[in-house]
Amino acid sequence: MRTIIAITLAAACSPALAALSIFACEPEWGALAQEIGGERVSVYTATSALQDPHHIEARPSLIARARRADLVVCTGAELEVGWLPLVLSQSGNARIQAGERGYFEAASAARLIEVPERVDRAMGDVHAAGNPHLQLDPRNISRVAKALAARMSVLDAQDASYYLERELAFQQRWSAATARWERQAEPLAGLPVVVYHANLSYLFNWLGVRTVGTLEPKPGVPPSAAHLAALLAALKQAPAKAVVRAAYNDPRAAQWLAREAHLPEVVMPFTVGGSERATDLFALYEDSIARLLAVAR
Amino acid sequence: MFRRLLGVAVLAAALPPAQAQESPRAAGGNAFNPGISLILQGTAASSSRDPASYRIDGFAPTGGEVGPAPRGFSLGESEIGIAANIDPNFSGQLVASFSADNKVEVEEAFFQTLALGGGFTVKGGRFLSGIGYLNGIHQHAWDFQDAPLAYKAFLGGRLNDDGLQLRWLAPTDLFLEFGAELGSGRVFPATPNSRNGANAATLFAHLGGDLGVSTAWRTGVSLLRARPEGRAFDDVDGLGNPVTQSFTGASTLLIADFVLKWSPNGNATSTNFKLQGEFFRRKESGALSYDDGTALTGDYASRQSGWYLQGVYQFMPRWRAGLRYDRLDRGTVDAAVPLAGPLASDYNPSRVTVMLDWSGSEFSRIRLQLAQDKSRAGLTDNQVLLQYLFSLGAHGAHTF
């Protein structure tokens, strides 16, 4: 009986024999950590593709998971400013505090766009460091992969070669895929679209998709009837090809505008798990491009 | 194998560090300034009974700010919060509030450890106690403008003693946290005193987790023990002569709380629902004195309880509606001396509150709140208030 309890306790306390326990703030970083870490890591993803990454609460389950993590992998650039500091301070886990080796921000390795000249909340919920939705530029994924593998190798020196080799293999597959996607996506250059929130900017910037309007009047401010009416009028002058939103964005405003403007609505997976097809990072990009190509023709 | 490993390591070392790609940041004297946040709030209120005459019958007055919002226009508490990491071991925070009558109050001023590890965290200074659910949440983040009656009657609004807190989080997937606090006893239910050591102590445990992707919950039990000495309030007797009633003894408060939050797929942006409730039970025993010029002292024992239940529903982006029911049970109060003021009243207070609020963004909220308050025996106080709540500066925390 005692043995059973001991085994149960051990199983409850260490769900995997993996060397590194990783707490990923968003699904894309969970997927990337898995690509690099293989079977040597256990990954917990704190949020899903259907949740707005700006509006997460420091739920008890997140605090409990952060307690045992060796490495926290988050976007940074203030995306998690509302909840991650609280999770970290309540976790009682010294290894993952900001500034420690167990704290990794993707934004520190990525190249950020849309960095505001000045910040003022009259502009909406702007991020001083730039647009934090950086996972939809494949070059950022590559940069973050390199930095993340280096960090994982430092934290788990025994498995360093394993991580670095997996990262090199990932980089090779990723650059081949990136070149393929760039070819496939050529028809998307100049495609005019209306987007819900500036959360697809990196993808559009990379592929040359043109944003001609946003459903949110200002970042983080829900669409209002007046703004939607003005947007509809503007679309009569400068038509778009589609109304695009991320899976987690409220569908109502996008559906209304798509109906009124006779445009197709495109629901982008935004991150891993945001559509049935987007099961990993490669599939995320493939699905995203396929969905845009379907309305470009 | 070794050569390959070496090659990879050299390659990794030769690459510029990740941070090097970052745009250079301005480094000046203010680069280390802490995060500063400011809360502005105010009310326009109307009530059928004068807020100055507010009392909770059946319960000893707490001396805290427990009355409803003043009639007419009134500035609420303006709150300034300053927080930063101190060094790799500690973080610190100050929350000061400016009240409408030009007083400054230190609500919180504490340090907290960052690097103890093993699930342990120590907090020291003045801080909102970890007991109950609502106690740890700042007033501006509450779903109603004022505290539940149970908080008013048993804690004088809230508990923020000066002292030390130790918390330990269990290494389990289920959230399981234990905490203990030692305090100076400067606030109700204890009394300011000049004794050495701690004069109030708490113990609490919280359990929480997720039910599927859409629901998250937390529940807890807390215990607060204090030894008030000469905890007094002034009133008048039946003939209008001044009376002072004071209590010395042991006070034990037990709180059971729960909160449940639901949102479709865990995405609270458009719609969400929050249900919370807390139950309070207090046992006090010791000596009670009744002083109308001649002091009488005798044995005193009371068992009193109270609870509230509230639900808040965000039915569309920006709009939320809420309903709260409060109830206090005077229970049994046995005293060998006459009882004075509200304590003399054999009455069970109750209140119903409804609210509707609109949030222009994450940083602004305007709230309409209606309440039918039956805190005074036999009297109904109908309250209407309009409240604004604005948050400036550093981004607030999304506390569960």
pLDDT tens-digit profile of A28-48? Answer: 999 999 999 999 999 999 999
CA angle (A224, A230, A233) in 5-degree steps:
140
> Which residues, numbered 55 to 114 in chain B, qualify as contacts with chain A under a Cβ-Cβ cut-off of 8 Å?
85, 88, 91, 112, 114
> Where does the pLDDT of residue B27 fall: very low under 50, low under 70, confident under 90, or very high at 90 and above?
low
Q: Measured between CB atoms, does B121 come within 8 Å of chain A? A: yes
Higher pLDDT, B4 or B133: B133
Of the candidate ranges A107-116, A240-249, B12-21, B304-313, the one whose mean pLDDT is the lowest: B12-21
The encoded tokens of residue B89 equal: 């071991």
Say if the Cβ atoms of B397 and A58 lie within 8 Å. Answer: yes
Of the candidate ranges B110-114, B323-327, B379-383, B395-399, the one whose mean pLDDT is the lowest: B395-399
> Where does the pLDDT of residue B361 fall: very low under 50, low under 70, confident under 90, or very high at 90 and above?
confident
pLDDT of B13 > 50? The answer is: no
Nearest to B359 by CA among B394, B325, B385, B387: B387
Provide the pLDDT for residue A122.
Answer: 83
Q: Which of B21, B36, B267 to mutate to test the interface with A (most CBs of A within 10 A)?
A: B267
Set of chain B residues whose Cβ sits within 8 Å of the Cβ of A59 = 208, 210, 216, 400
Provide the pLDDT for residue A7.
Answer: 46
Chain B nearest-CA distance from A25, in A, is 14
Q: Measured between CB atoms, does A201 come within 8 Å of chain B? A: no
Q: What is the number of alpha carbons within 13 Å of residue B267 lying toward its C-beta? A: 19
Q: Concatenated DSSP letters for B56-110?
A: -TTS----SS-SPPPSEEEE--EEEEEEEE-SSSEEEEEEEEE-TTS-EEEEEEE
Provide the pLDDT for residue A2.
Answer: 52
Nearest to A153 by CA among B46, B18, B105: B18
Q: What is the pTM of this model?
A: 0.90
Taking residues B190-216, what's their average pLDDT? Answer: 94
Provide the pLDDT for residue A17.
Answer: 59
Provide the pLDDT for residue A125.
Answer: 80
Divide the 297 residues of chain A into consecutive groups of 10 and give the mean pLDDT of each group: 48 58 98 97 96 92 97 96 94 94 96 89 85 96 98 96 97 98 96 94 96 91 91 92 95 94 96 97 98 93
Set of chain B residues whose Cβ sits within 8 Å of the Cβ of A56 = 398
Distance CA A105, CA A97 (A): 12
Mean model confidence pLDDT for chain B: 91
Say if the Cβ atoms of A97 and B88 lie within 8 Å. Answer: yes
Scanning every residue of chain A, which has its alpha carbon at the shortest distance from the alpha carbon of B17? A147
Say if the Cβ atoms of B216 and A59 lie within 8 Å. Answer: yes
Any bridge partners for residue A244, and if so which? A195, A266
Provide the pLDDT for residue B193.
Answer: 85
Q: Concatenated DSSP letters for B147-168?
A: --HHHHHHHTT----EEEEEEE
Taking residues B3-30, what's their average pLDDT? Answer: 46
Residues whose CB is less than 8 angstroms from the CB of residue A171 and which lie 6 or more positions away in sequence, other chains included: A142, A145, A146
> Which residues, numbered 285 to 344 in chain B, qualify as contacts with chain A under a Cβ-Cβ cut-off of 8 Å?
317-318
Scanning every residue of chain B, which has its alpha carbon at the shortest distance from the alpha carbon of A142? B18
Which of B23, B210, B267 has the CB atom closest to A52's CB atom? Answer: B267
> Which residues, numbered 91 to 110 in chain A, qualify as contacts with chain B under a Cβ-Cβ cut-off of 8 Å?
91-95, 97-100, 108-110
Taking residues B46-73, what's their average pLDDT? Answer: 94
Distance CA A65, CA B397 (A): 19
Taking residues B263-269, what's their average pLDDT? Answer: 93
Say if the Cβ atoms of A115 and B23 lie within 8 Å. Answer: yes
Say if the Cβ atoms of B169 and A67 lie within 8 Å. Answer: yes
Which of A15, A55, A111 has the CB atom closest to B268's CB atom? Answer: A55
Handedness of CA A118, B38, B319, A199 (dihedral sign): positive
Q: Measured between CB atoms, does A217 come within 8 Å of chain B? A: no
Chain B nearest-CA distance from A59, in A, is 5
Taking residues B302-306, what's their average pLDDT? Answer: 98
Provide the pLDDT for residue A297.
Answer: 77
Pairing assessment for the beta strands B231-236 and A41-45 based on DSSP bridges? unpaired
Set of chain B residues whose Cβ sits within 8 Å of the Cβ of A78 = 395
> Which residues, numbered 50 to 79 in chain A, qualify as contacts with chain B under a Cβ-Cβ cut-off of 8 Å?
50-52, 55-61, 63-65, 67-68, 78
Q: Which of B91, B169, B176 to mutate to test the interface with A (most CBs of A within 10 A)?
A: B169
Distance CA A197, CA A219 (A): 6
Which of A48, A108, A146 has the CB atom closest to B15's CB atom? Answer: A146
Higher pLDDT, B333 or B8: B333
Distance CA A182, CA A289 (A): 9
Digit-coded pLDDT (tens) for B81-118: 999 999 999 999 999 999 988 999 999 999 999 999 99
Residues whose CB is less than 8 angstroms from the CB of residue B192 and which lie 6 or more positions away in sequence, other chains included: B184, B185, B186
Provide the pLDDT for residue B65.
Answer: 82
Higher pLDDT, A43 or B238: A43
Taking residues B226-230, what's their average pLDDT? Answer: 95
Distance CA B8, CA A168 (A): 9
Residues whose CB is less than 8 angstroms from the CB of residue B27 and which lie 6 or more positions away in sequence, other chains included: none
Say if the Cβ atoms of A12 and B172 lie within 8 Å. Answer: yes
Q: Is A222 helix (H, G, I), strand (E, B) or coil?
A: coil
Enumerate the H helices of chain B as residue ranges. 2-14, 149-155
Scanning every residue of chain A, which has its alpha carbon at the shortest distance from the alpha carbon of B89? A94
Scanning every residue of chain B, which has its alpha carbon at the shortest distance from the alpha carbon of A147? B18
